[in-house]
Structure 1
Amino acid sequence: MAQLAGPSVDYHARLEQRRGPQPSPQLLAAPARALRLSENELDHLYHLAGHEPPRRHGPLTRAAPRGCC
């Protein structure tokens, strides 16, 4: 995941072990995109990191699952 999301493998390991600094909202967005998190999963990630989830504007939309259509 570190290769997809940007920060180093070591940085991700420290975060997982709660040894690193609190990640910024911008840093949280990278793995969320790499993992293609749903809005609920993204909200949960932000809460786990001690941040308010990003505000969404307009109607909620969902992408079609991979391999669909």
Structure 2
Amino acid sequence: MKYAEDTLYRMWKELTLNASTDDTRYRVWDYPIKEQYGHILLAINDSDPVANAEEGFRKVDEHLDADYAFIHDSK
């Protein structure tokens, strides 16, 4: 999703900066899409991801004050 978000931004930027003078009334100066996936990816990378599920479950068990969450997908 981060890649899709970046691609949309690049396309919007190119269209906005390269618009002809005839289309100035249609220009959008503020980027209309919320950049949520980039922020999510940064938060994940800053959270010190675990190597595997076993390590994640172990860390949850070690944090008795409920100050750690482990999010895991199933196969």
- Same fold by TM-score, threshold 0.5 exceeded? no
Larger Rg, first or second structure (1 or 2): 2
TM-score by length of 2: 0.26
More helix by share: 2
TM-score by length of 1: 0.27
